[in-house]
Structure 1
Amino acid sequence: MEIGIVEDPKVKKHLPWLAALAIFMQALDGTILNTSLPSIAKSLGESPLEMQSVIVSYTLTVALLIPLSGWLADRFGTRNMLMLAIGIFTAGSLFCSIANTLDQLVLARIFQAIGGSMLVPVARLILIYAYPKDQLLSIINFITIPVLIGPMLGPTAGGFLVEKFSWHWIFLINLPVGIIALFWARKVVPNFKNTVGKFDLKGWLLISGGLTTLTLIIERWNSPQFTAVTLLLLAVLTIICVIGYIRYAQKTTKALIRLSLLKIKTLRIGLVGNLVTRFGVGGMPLMVPLLLQVGFGYSAFFAGLMMIPQAGSNLVFRNFVVPIVRKFGYRNTLIVNTILTGIIISCFFFINKNTPMWILVILMICNGAFNAVQFTSMNTIALADLDSDTSSEGNTLLSVTQQLAISLGISISAMILVMFQNSSIGTNDQGIDVFRYTFLVMGIITILSSRVFARLNVEAGASLVEKREYKEPKQQTN
């Protein structure tokens, strides 16, 4: 089907709801697992402090496959690819639920992520093709609601399912939803196709190889299965892939990611800031539930409830981002907010079993509020100076960086946790100190990352938040 505005009222009515459902599946899956990891670890006979690979394998796979999703949808049709994405995601959920070992679960999560990586980009692309531009803003706003609700429902729903049933149900609930979405998509989604060029497979393989080996080094540095020689070989492969892509991209005009994009200062700083800031912030969704369950002995459901204040404040404070940035500018906002975020994370160092729960709630509320300002500001400044020729590639690069940063943030926080666990600190205070010192290091990393935003110009991003005042037209006098 040729790209064009959909006139069928039935299709126009159902498309936003189907897109919202597909996005909700992805958003919920991204958070429902965090409070369930200790229960899964116990069932599989693994340490709960070394279960991060279940999350990292998913987020890394999504990061690697995002550049493919748009090309595949244009090449083979939006309906075909959305149905394929839903089918793979649903089947992957089933495979996750029947996994008997950690390795099986990781493989199932990778398979699930193949479908998950296409859900959001393809659903968004369908809406862009199906609706006129003057309707897109309201439609896009509607489908972002699941992205905001997912972090609020996910941890609590995961904790509830684990306590009342078993951890398998956090994956099994995707089956009926996926089946409904599959038949719904077959019935209402237009199969738009678009002319596309040849996909840069060589560039994609080099980028994927470099990111995968880098993640493996961080993820498996402490594994007995990975010797020093193995880690060294992985490091060499990472360097080869990175240098190989740089040299390759300089020679071709159709590289997957044009290096010339990084000459755009706001994009470059936004990407680097997204990456290094999440080295500290990115581990919080993993570390807080582990602290509450493994450190303090609370239930999975209680740990999930404790994540609601953070998600709620994140949702509320998004409304204040524009006024804050308009008053102080992107540069000042990002520098100060990054430091404040790091201070809040560092405050978890002082938490122990005797700490009143209201203090923890306040910390979670503050963390959610500062995260709302941080991520919204970082993401928008990265896109501030993109034009029609660079917006598509820049947006894709930002999406990949975000997913990669989440993956690396979790891996780095888990690596720090294991380092403290293997030190003398791991024998103190029933092991709670390993969490406290991990939060302290994560906070320091976040504070130091504020230096990235100091390179922004004071007026950077001003066009995004400047007030547009209406002026009465001057009357002509004869």
Structure 2
Amino acid sequence: MSVPSSAIGLANAVPARRNFRTIALIVASAMFMEQLDATILATALPTMARDFGVGAPSMSIALTSYLISLAVFIPVSGAVADRWGSRTVFRAAIGVFVAGSVLCALAPSLGFLVAARLLQGLGGAMMMPVGRLVLLRSVERRDLVSAMSWLLVPALIGPILGPPVGGFIVTYADWRWIFYINVPVGLVGMVLVSLFIDETRDERTGPFDSVGMILSGISLGSLLFGFETASRDGEGMLALALVAVGLVAGAAYLHHARRHAAPILDPALMRVPSFGTSVIAGSLTRITQGAQPFLLPLMMQLGFGLSAATSGLVTIATAIGSLMMKALAPRILRRFGFRQALVVNGILAALLYGTCAFFRPDWPLPAIFGVLVCCGFSMSFQFTAYNTVAYDRISPAQMSSATSFYTTFQQLMLSLGICVAALALHGSMGVQGHAAPELSDFSVAFAVVVAISLLATVWNLRFSADAGREISGHGRVAETVKRPAAETSEALEHGR
């Protein structure tokens, strides 16, 4: 059995494969720092507003400025990694994020903080997709599921741990420590990247898509800003205007992308079966993931009367479930395959989160905790599968573009999840005539986001029966030739 030269060349480009757990944990630590920081800040906004001498609502710009920076720079991350090398860019991204964090901690005014958050967002925008690209280019195909299960844990537990950690810091220390805690994590991460991650790059053909960068930045920035604005009272018209601008700019970008030789976000990737299906199904499922950290703490505090600290401890249950998943995901996928596992677990994950609609103050906290552990396990497994099978038929030449594309939609849909949850909550309050959200309103909001996630079943059924078979090992005898995770489609067709 011959191995195509393209696959051999890629293997030779990285002669000494590192232990995949080491690489996955290094990338995961950087992403955890980013995910924690993204949610921890919200808890400190009232205190920061008091120090800066501004109203608390004005502090929302500290959140949206970061989102706008993500929207502008995530799409270009793949092109930058191809030009300078994924290890170099990933290490630099951590450094930029740490530098932005220090400036945020030193901020004497709101204007200074916003500028620092824009810089921090530049680092975060490069860390997320380039970190995933580092993993895809460094891990053998047979280890990809295990590596992804490690990588996705911070994406799920970061938003859960953010509020209680932020509350602890604001209560017992200065809010500036919210940003200072990123410094040691980031510095250690930069050293570990230098020691354990190899340099990889792919030469792109065609001119840099500067027009595409502008159009995608306007579109994604407006959409993210619009979604975030829609979750606040009294700003519905502004949110609609921003979303409209985002949609128009997005349509203009799609028209431009069809004519550009190397578009910054390539819509042609959606024609790759496993990738396109994973993007759509994963996007629908991420509505629930984005909504849950927004709805659950509010329900615990406003509906149950629990303190912020207690509600934070309860919601940590989903993080525990996520950690339990990482060891079992490869075995489940090897036994059932991607298609069957995604269909069955997708329904189970949605229904488990639907159980949250029935939570009431008379439920024993251990019972709520147990349900949330199962929620975390099931949803974490679902995203491990989506984020792995998406790259089943992606060639090395497409890999950097694919990671930018996938991460862009991931960030967009997480923000949309908050928007949908907030709109459902406020809609229920309006229909039922509630001045403040009550338990029945939270139940409606959970039902809405769960219903959207269940729609992903339609697309999960569209995965082919053998989707990701080379990755999961489902229905196959172990191979004697080990091939890299970023193996070309040509290798899959001719070498197997």
> TM-score interval w.r.t. the shorter chain?
0.7 to 0.9
Asked whether the equivalents of residues 60 and 403 of structure 1 are also in contact (C-alpha less than 8 Å), the reply is no
Tell me the TM-score normalized by structure 2.
Answer: 0.75
1:242, CA displacement in angstroms? Answer: 2.5
2:292 is matched with 284
Distance 2:392 2:290 in 1: 24
Residue identity opposite 1:161 in structure 2 = I
Contact 2:227 2:239 in 1 (8 A): no
Change (3 A) 1:189 1:412: same
AA at the equivalent of 1:26: M
Give the letter for the 2:245 counterpart.
L
- Counterparts of 1:72-151 in structure 2, within 5 Å, are 72-75=80-83, 81-82=89-90, 84-97=92-105, 108-122=116-130, 148=153
Taking a change above 3 Å as real, the CA distance of residues 413 and 108 of structure 1, as seen in their structure-2 partners, is: farther
The C-alpha deviation readout for 1:350-370, integer Å capped at 9, x for no partner, is: 222232101210121111111
Measured against aligned partners, the alpha-carbon deviations of 1:52-73 in whole angstroms (never above 9, x if no partner) come to: 8766654564354233234334
Residue from 212, 215, 240 that aligns with 2:248 = 240
Taking the aligned partners of 2:305 and 2:111, their CA distance within structure 1 comes to 27
Aligned to 2:450: 443
Secondary structure of the corresponding residue to residue 461 of structure 2 = helix
Contact 1:60 / 1:404 at 8 angstroms: preserved in 2? no
CA offset at residue 30 of structure 1? 0.9
Cα offset, 1:145, TM superposition: 5.1
Could you state the TM-score of these two structures normalised by the residue count of structure 1? 0.77
Deviation at 1:323, TM superposition (A): 3.8
1:434 matches 2:441: yes
Deviations 1:93-140 (A, max 9, x none): 2344466888876664343121122235556767889x8x77x98899
Is 1:394 matched with 2:399?
no
CA distance in 2, matches of 1:62, 1:458: 36
Partner of 1:205: 214
Q: Structure 1 residues 381 and 111 mapped into 2: Cα distance closer, same or farther (>3 Å)?
A: same
Q: Does 1:335 align with 2:343?
A: yes
Please, what is the CA RMSD of the aligned residues?
4.5
Matching of residues 300-449 of structure 1 within 5 Å: 300-421=308-429, 424=432, 426-427=434-435, 431-449=438-456
Relative to structure 2, which stretch is displaced further, 271-280 or 234-243?
234-243
2:219 maps to a residue whose letter is: G
| Structure 1 residue 209 displacement after superposition | 1.7
Greater shift in the superposed pair: 462-471 or 350-359: 462-471
Could you say if the C-alpha distance between residues 455 and 194 of structure 1 is closer, same or farther in structure 2, counting changes exceeding 3 Å?
closer
How much does 1:262 deviate? 1.8
One of 25, 33, 38 as aligned partner of 1:28 = 33
Distance 1:43 1:147, change over 3 A: same
In structure 1, which of residues 257, 262, 267 is the aligned counterpart of residue 275 of structure 2? 267
Unmatched segments (≥5 aa) in structure 2: 1-11, 481-496
Is this contact kept in 2: 1:330–1:460, CA < 8 A?
yes
Structure 2 CA distance for aligned equivalents of residues 79 and 456 of structure 1: 33
Whole-angstrom distance in 1 between the partners of 2:376 and 2:468: 23
Distance 1:309 1:56, change over 3 A: farther
- Residue 382 of structure 1: how far off its partner (Å): 2.0
Aligned partners of 2:71 and 2:220 also within 8 Å: no
Is 1:455 the counterpart of 2:462? The answer is yes
Q: What is the SS of the residue equivalent to 1:307?
A: helix
Do the aligned partners of 1:313 and 1:369 also contact (CA within 8 Å) in 2?
yes
Name the SS for the 2:360 alignment partner: coil
Q: Which amino acid aligns with 2:101?
A: S
User: In structure 2, do the counterparts of structure 1 residues 296 and 236 end up closer, same or farther at CA, with 3 Å as the change threshold?
Assistant: closer
The 2-side partners of 1:457 and 1:190 are apart by: 34
Query: Structure 2 counterpart of 1:262, which letter?
Result: M
Alpha-carbon distance in structure 1 between the residues aligned to 2:288 and 2:218: 24
- Report if the CA contact (8 A) 1:344-1:443 is conserved: no
Structure 1 portions without partners, runs of 5+:
473-478
SS of the residue corresponding to residue 456 of structure 1 reads: coil
> Which one-letter code corresponds to 2:225 in the other structure?
L
Q: Compared with structure 1, are the counterparts of its residues 289 and 105 closer, same or farther at alpha carbon in structure 2 (3 Å cutoff)?
A: farther
Q: Is the 8 A contact 2:23 2:135 kept in 1?
A: no
Q: Which range is displaced more, 262-271 or 141-150? A: 141-150
Offset of residue 381 of structure 1: 2.7
Q: Is the 8 A contact 2:284 2:455 kept in 1?
A: no
Distance 1:17 1:106, change over 3 A: farther
8 Å contact kept, 2:319–2:376: yes
Distance 2:350 2:290 in 1: 12
Alignment CA distance shift 1:458-1:72 (3 Å): closer
> Does 1:170 find its partner at 2:178?
yes
CA contact (8 A) 1:281 1:442 kept: no
Partner SS, residue 237 of structure 1: helix
**Contact kept? 1:289, 1:304, Cα under 8 Å:** yes
Corresponding position of 1:476: none
- The one-letter code matched in structure 1 to 2:265 is I
Identify the residue that residue 483 of structure 2 maps to in structure 1.
none
Identical pairs, percent:
26
